[in-house]
Amino acid sequence: MRTSDLKISISGIRGIVGQSLTPQLILKFSEAFSSFIGEGEIGVATDTRPSGSMLKYAVFSGLLSCGAIPVDMGILPIPSLQVYVKSKHLRGGISITASHNPVEWNALKLIKNGGFFLSPYEAEELLDYYYQGRFKRVAQSGIIKKEGHPFQIHETKILDFIQGDLIANKQLKVIVDPCGGAASPYVKSFLEQLGVEVKCINCGLSNGFPRNPEPLPQNITALSESVKKHGADIGFAQDADADRLAVVDEKGSPIGEEYTLALAIQYYLNHKQKTPVVINLSTSRVIQDISEKAGVELIRTKVGEINVSKKMLDTGSKIGGEGNGGIIAADIHACRDSFVGMALILEYLAVSGKKTSQLKSALPYYKMIKDKIKANFNDRKRILHLIQAKFDQGQTNTEDGLKVEYPDFWLHVRPSNTEPVMRIIIEGKNDRLVESIYSEIKECL
């Protein structure tokens, strides 16, 4: 088995099941994680991929062999697992999910005490355990515990935080599409407890996903049609592990994941509290505009949830996230959370009395193009050099790949944390300019 076929990063370990990702490899990584994190209870959850059960029992074996006590959480959204790990003071957690990747992929997302992902340094130390075989095995294992209500803590925290009576009084109609993923057993009941009328599509737990799990506009057309058909006020789409959220307005038009984050942050700053805002380097300038108007500091980090979460904790920020629809509200937990995102946006609709499209259109307009190209390690260096030479007059940031800012547009080219690709993002107010810059980059490459 070639571990080089895997994608190993601060986001965890992922690969194609049966090829680069096998139960044997999962067993060894679980042994390494248990040895690294220490003895104690470790929560284990999955999304709904057909490979989940096979990999879960390999995880159990690895944990038990090194003295840990697995807590079987069943199917559970990753933010719910993070909240549970923190609230119950577990040693850590493992989510068996490949998030937005296609169904043939799976992964381990590793969570430490406190409910956060490993930092880059901790991930490197864990890999030392794996490669050196530094496993603290025991002669006699413990037992596997079972949690019967794993979502309850997460749900209660949000319901206590949100003004549910305001939402209920508006009698809003919602369509939600969890993609048959980890949110499917919970999301309809959760929204109903917020006092809205709910129709759930793609809620079944089938062998695979009914659509591409990444909640991009082209993948959520069924949600758009359902919103129009049923005259709903809003539509929500989640990815397979339920940390990302996309929104469809009452006309059936996706507003874009960047604007999903923008609505949540704008509402929080105007109606909850003023606080510094933390986002990553790839997130839209619309958040900068919102922060400036609210009179709060905007802080940017490298891409990756742990980078944003850590900076939020360090600066006392209560709201932030990533432009892929990853809303982070530290009042619940400093992790990307589609459930708190839905709650905040529904409260915004209720308090404002406006339609979803009106809230979005009131925000500054930006055109953003996102693309990716396959690239190995050597290709990455060459690509970054080419782009830097091409756009050498702008303000350059090399903290995470290459970001170049001009007054009327910016671009960011960086290696992905989750796929063997380079991500390309260009944004500006002028559609033709952004498309022209995109064409220049493609021609350059």
Model confidence over 124-182: pLDDT tens digits? 899 889 889 889 999 988 999 999 999 999 999 999 999 999 999 999 999 999 999 99
Q: Is the pLDDT of residue 79 over 90?
A: yes
Q: What is the pTM of this model?
A: 0.95
Question: Tell me, what's the pLDDT at 367?
Answer: 97
Question: Tell me, what's the pLDDT at 197?
Answer: 98
Average pLDDT over residues 201-208: 86
Per cent of the chain over pLDDT 90 is 83
Q: Is the pLDDT of residue 4 over 90?
A: no
- Better pLDDT: 335 or 6: 335
| Residue 217 pLDDT class (50, 70, 90 cuts) | very high
Question: Tell me, what's the pLDDT at 374?
Answer: 86
Q: Is the pLDDT of residue 5 over 60?
A: no
Question: Tell me, what's the pLDDT at 8?
Answer: 66
Per cent of the chain over pLDDT 70 is 97
Task: Set out the domains of the chain in order of their start, with CATH numbers.
Answer: 3-149 (3.40.120.10), 163-361 (3.40.120.10), 367-444 (3.30.310.50)
In DSSP terms, which residues pair with 414 in a beta bridge? 423
In DSSP terms, which residues pair with 139 in a beta bridge? none
76 and 150 in contact (C-beta within 8 Å)? yes
Average pLDDT over residues 368-375: 91
Question: Tell me, what's the pLDDT at 426?
Answer: 98
Indicate the average pLDDT of the chain: 94
Q: Is the pLDDT of residue 360 over 60?
A: yes
Choice among 5-14, 88-97, 170-179, 272-281 with the minimum mean pLDDT: 5-14
Tell me how far apart the alpha carbons of residues 15 and 105 are, in angstroms, rounded to a whole number.
Answer: 6
The residues annotated with a catalytic role in the active site are: 99
